[in-house]
Each structure stands twice: as structure tokens, then as C-alpha cells.
Amino acid sequence: MKLSFEKSVKGRRGLRVAAGDVPTSINLNPALLRDKPAELPEMSELDVVRHFTELSRRNFGVDTNFYPLGSCTMKYNPKVCERIAAYPTFTHLHPILPQLCGGEKLTQGALQILWEMDCLLSEICGMKAFTMQPMAGAHGELTGITMMAAYHRDRGNKKSIVLIPDSAHGTNPASAAIAGYSVKSVPSDENGWMSVGALKEMLTDEVAGLMLTNPNTLGLFDPNIGEICRLIHSVDGLAYYDGANLNAIVGKVRPGDMGFDIVHINLHKTFATPHGGGGPGAGPVGVVSKLTDFLPISTVIKRQDGTFALDYDKPKSIGYIAPFYGNFGIILRAYVYILMSGRDGLERVAENAVLNANYMKEKLRPYYDMEHPQLCKHEFVLSATRQAAHGVHAIDIAKGLIDAGYHPPTMYFPMIVKEALMIEPTENESKETMDAFIDAMIELAKRAQTDPQSIKAAPTKTPVGRLDETRAAREMKIASLDS
């Protein structure tokens, strides 16, 4: 496909602007103006429409095909949620309107949604209160860890360490480090769970808290979670729940009931909101009672008369961590999904997610290695070590799936599994879709033995073939338009 610059024809126009009859004057500093017009493609309207329509047909998205990514799930986005989020009564609201004189009267509906979402997520997660401000899961992590630090400062605790399992998401240690903590990794035991013995040895008065997700990145539910949280609390530490895998247990188990003090939720991983491409996103954070004073400002409160308002009177608050009240449009989508699903529907989310993952895992078990073959929750991790003996690695399997019409699963993560392929079918996919993906994975496993070179050459059906990704990262060449 040609670039728009290659389709450009000098003098061709895609629009005509009528001459203005209003006098204009430009007071800009001449030094700020271009010496010559911008070198933009010159195309007709029809050519522009066809160009971008063709580009859109080459995009791979959750609306076009199966996304088996582990942990960072691309869930479906129910169109009813999109429809309601597009209502002009929501999209035409300005975020500073509540701050204007009498503005709260004009935003009662939006404030009610934020307040009710706080209540819904608190009930789902067993927390006392939530903030809707964080704009992504990693942003939620930083918010939660910042509140952890504020809690310890308020109590006069001298804490400097955050413990994180060796199977954790990479953003966990990054968030802890940005908040000023040093990070220590807790190893996994032979079952794939975090080692309680190792945790006990690492536990000191310097430990501020522990960050982990349950089920963990291997898709395994840790039966020792109650003991783990108790140990952290014994040194006045806080237990932080990374909610990346919440949809495996939503409606079944609440993080607060496990003993966690702080929870962040990736709405796109559990509550069917859009994700990818750098945004949009939302990562609400919930806390137990002893941490509510540290929540970001402002918070939405419900007055005695049933109206809603913004509360800034929180002297111990960590302050603003995002503009205004968070990504309202994404929160609204999740709000609609939760109300539409109800309690029973959310329970079925967990049931179907676990059923689908175990069905797929058992179908693929004969063809791939599996370090932890026990019952999983919503995701499982295969190992391509068997295929690597024939020169076919996890990345080659992933490239082969592209030729089969599938987005690759998560590769080489968690790093504690060699040649890892992490797969999460989600609760939304049909048996027919999963069976077709399973067949593609089995075909690749067989070809790895009989014709490994064909897989190592993949993808061959895409506009761009196999790239040297290592060289591209080390020897970046960014061409200018003039070149």
C-alpha cells in the first residue's frame, strides 16, 4: 500500500474554502511563521477517504478478531456501552462546570454516576471507598503506592522497602520505585505461588507493603493469600492488590476479604471498556477505611438532601493525581456494563473465564510443555521449549499465528517460565472461536517438528514480513520528510 505522500499530486485539492469577508490581522511574531507551506500530501477527497478506509481494514482490533493476550486482555466492548457514553448530555459536559457558580446543579447526573461507581466498585472489591481519577492501571498503581507512602509518613513509620513476587507485572516495581521505595523480589515456590517461607525471611520493620495479584500471572490462585496478608500486616505493612486478573474472581471473591488494603482495577480487563493504542484508559483505586483520608481530591459526596457535591476538605489527601475527575467516558462505559450485568452476570464472567481457560489449556497440553499444569483461573502459560528443540521459539509461534489470522498471545512473560506463551481467552469468546485458535496452535506445534523453517519465515501474509526487531531497537533510523 502506498503512503499518502506517494499518492500526492501537486495542485490537487480535497476541499475548497470560501474566501472570507471579515478583515483579519495577524499579530504573531514573524519568526514563528513558516518560511514555506507545510509539505503535506495533496489529494482529492475521494482519494483521502479511500486511503484511510483501506488503512482501517488492515487494523487488527477486538472487533475484527480474537485477542488471546494474557493479563492485558483485549475484551469486547458492548455497543450499548458505547452508545450511552456517546449521549450528548455526557459528551457535552465540560470538566470545570462543577467548579463554576451554580455548576453543580448542572452536573448532578455525572456526579451521581461517579458516586455510584464508587459504591459499586467498593462492594465488588470489599473496599471502603474508591477514587476514579487514575487514567490507567499503572497510574492506579502509582496512586495506590503514593497513598501507602502517605499512610506511613502520617504514622511516623520508617519504611523503605516494597516486596513484589518474581512473577509480577513489570509496572509494579516501577511504580514502587517512583514512589521512593526500594524493591525486593520474592521468589515463587514449586507450585507457582509466592513462597511464604521466603516472605517470612524478608519481612522486617522496613517493609512498607507487598504488591501482588491473585490469581497470579501464571493464572494460579494462591491458597496462602490470607497468611500472606497477615504477615504483611504484622509489621504494619499494607497489602496492595494489582487488579489485572480480577475478572477471574469477580463476583466470587473480594480482594478486601482476602486481606488487601489497596486495590487498583483495570477497567478494560474486567469491565469491558476500550484499551490499546495509548488510551483511553481508567484505573480506579480503592482503599480500606484507614486509608480513606489519603484519597486524591476531589471526591464526590452525597448530601443529606440527596444531591451530590465535590469534597476538597481532605487535609491528608495526596492531592490531584489527574486532571479533574478521571476519564469520565471510560468510567461511564464500565458503569453501564456493571449495571447491565448485575451480580449474577458478574459471577458468570468469572465462571466462563475460568471454564474457557481450562478448556483451552487441556486441549493444548499434549502439544506444548506446561510447568504448572494444575487447574488455572482465567489464563494459563504454555512453554515452547519442546518446539525450541527444533529451532522454533515462542516468538516464531507468535509470528505463525499472525499468518493464521490471530493476534499473538503475550510472549516471554512471566520471565520465570522459559519460552513463555501466556494465553487468556476471556469469558466472551465462543467455543467455535477457541477451537479454531486451538487448531492453529496445534498445527504450528506439528509444523515445528516437520517444517520448522516455514514458521521461522512467518509472517508471509502481511504487508510487512518478518522484521529484525532487535536491530530495529538498537539501530533506530527515523527518516525525515525531506529524505
- What span, in angstroms and rounded, lies between the C-alpha atoms of 94 and 138? 26
Question: Residue 406's domain is classified under what CATH number?
Answer: 3.90.1150.10
Q: Looking at the predicted structure, is the pLDDT value of residue 481 above 60?
A: no
Same domain for 401 and 421? yes
| Domain stops at, among 312, 339, 366 | 339
Same domain for 399 and 290? no
Q: What integer is the mean pLDDT of 29-42?
A: 87
Within a domain: 22? no
Same domain for 409 and 320? no
Same domain for 391 and 274? no
Within a domain: 432? yes
**pLDDT digit string, tens, across residues 334-365:** 999 999 999 999 999 999 999 999 999 999 99
| Domain stops at, among 321, 339, 357 | 339
| Domain stops at, among 290, 314, 339 | 339
Within a domain: 51? no
Same domain for 366 and 332? no
Same domain for 148 and 122? yes
Same domain for 313 and 456? no
Q: Judge contact between 480 and 402, C-beta under 8 A.
A: no
Residue 483: the pLDDT is: 43
**pLDDT digit string, tens, across residues 282-340:** 999 999 999 999 999 989 999 999 999 999 999 999 999 988 888 999 999 999 999 99
Same domain for 358 and 335? no
Within a domain: 62? no
Q: What integer is the mean pLDDT of 238-261?
A: 96
Within a domain: 42? no
Same domain for 246 and 359? no
Within a domain: 61? no
Same domain for 385 and 403? yes
Domain enclosing residue 450, as ranges: 349-472
Average pLDDT value over all residues in the chain: 91
Same domain for 310 and 378? no
Q: Judge contact between 228 and 222, C-beta under 8 A.
A: yes
Same domain for 361 and 433? yes
Total domain count for the chain?
A: 2
Within a domain: 25? no
